[in-house]
Amino acid sequence: MMNFSTLLFDLDGTLTDPKIGITKSVHYALTKFNIYVDDLDNLDLFIGPPLAKSFMDLYSFSESQAKTAVEYYREYFSTNGIYENELYEGIMDLLELVSRDHILIVATSKPTVFAEKILNYFNISKYFDFVCGSNLDGTMSDKTEIIKYLIDARNLVKDRTIMIGDRKHDIIGAHNNQIASIGVGYGYGSEEEIINIKPTYHIKTVKELLEAFS
């Protein structure tokens, strides 16, 4: 089934479950604007998309306010939230398997510097040939742009490359660059979100993902 040579992996919600760290960091930022959220579950929508866009979409922040909110977010995230994170069960086995005969690349909206720290923290950086994230100034945070950059910079063959992610932004990025995609069902995109965006494949669990590449 999976006749691909290069696998692009989203990070948050695909390789790791970052919920506690991200939602606490968002909560910290919102309190700086006197916005208080009692239930951190209500901040799950921040997991995956570019942060500044989420502050604007979900809390009607101006572009300037969103930029400031991201700075506050990073005050907490850079020292605490980055480590309030865990690998999904089975991910290490998956990476061990697919790295034997595939090129693995991380394609994330998270800043590259943070993505690299997380990969090192979980000792999985060894499986990846390259890590491509956004810049700290917020540029290159859109998945379409990230995937295009990778295709051009790494000379990837489109029909041999697949994007694996848990949110619609991952699948949209794949569609816009004419590559295949896997929408996973164990992350933070709802089943409805994944089905509606029409990935090439919809795989619900890490175990099923491993089986697809076996």
Q: What are phi and psi of 106, to 5 degrees?
A: -90, 130
Instruction: State the catalytic residues.
Output: 10
Which residues are within 8 A (CB) of 192 and not within 5 positions of it... i.e. 6 or more apart? none
Domain assignment present for residue 182? The answer is: yes
Whether residue 65 is found in the same domain as residue 154:
no
Among 32, 49, 83, give the residue marking a domain's end. Answer: 83
Q: What is the pLDDT along the chain (214 residues), one digit of tens a residue?
A: 578 999 999 999 999 999 999 999 999 999 999 999 999 999 999 998 899 999 999 999 999 999 999 999 999 999 999 999 999 999 999 999 999 999 999 999 999 999 999 999 999 999 999 999 999 998 999 999 999 999 999 999 999 999 999 999 999 999 999 999 999 999 999 999 999 999 999 999 999 999 999 8
Among 83, 107, 129, give the residue marking a domain's end. Answer: 83
Domain assignment present for residue 151? The answer is: yes
Domain assignment present for residue 90? The answer is: yes
As a whole number of angstroms, the distance between CA 146 and CA 69 comes to 23
Whether residue 74 is found in the same domain as residue 173:
no
Domain assignment present for residue 193? The answer is: yes
Which CATH number belongs to the domain containing residue 97 in this structure?
Answer: 3.40.50.1000
Number of neighbouring beta carbons within 10 Å of residue 54: 21
Domain assignment present for residue 11? The answer is: yes
Whether residue 64 is found in the same domain as residue 100:
no
Number of neighbouring beta carbons within 10 Å of residue 89: 12
How far from each other are the two terminal CA atoms of the chain, in whole angstroms? 9
Whether residue 111 is found in the same domain as residue 73:
no
Number of domains in the chain: 2
Domain assignment present for residue 1? The answer is: no
Domain that holds residue 163: 6-17+86-213
Cβ pair 182, 200 in contact under 8 A: yes
- The whole-model pTM stands at 0.93
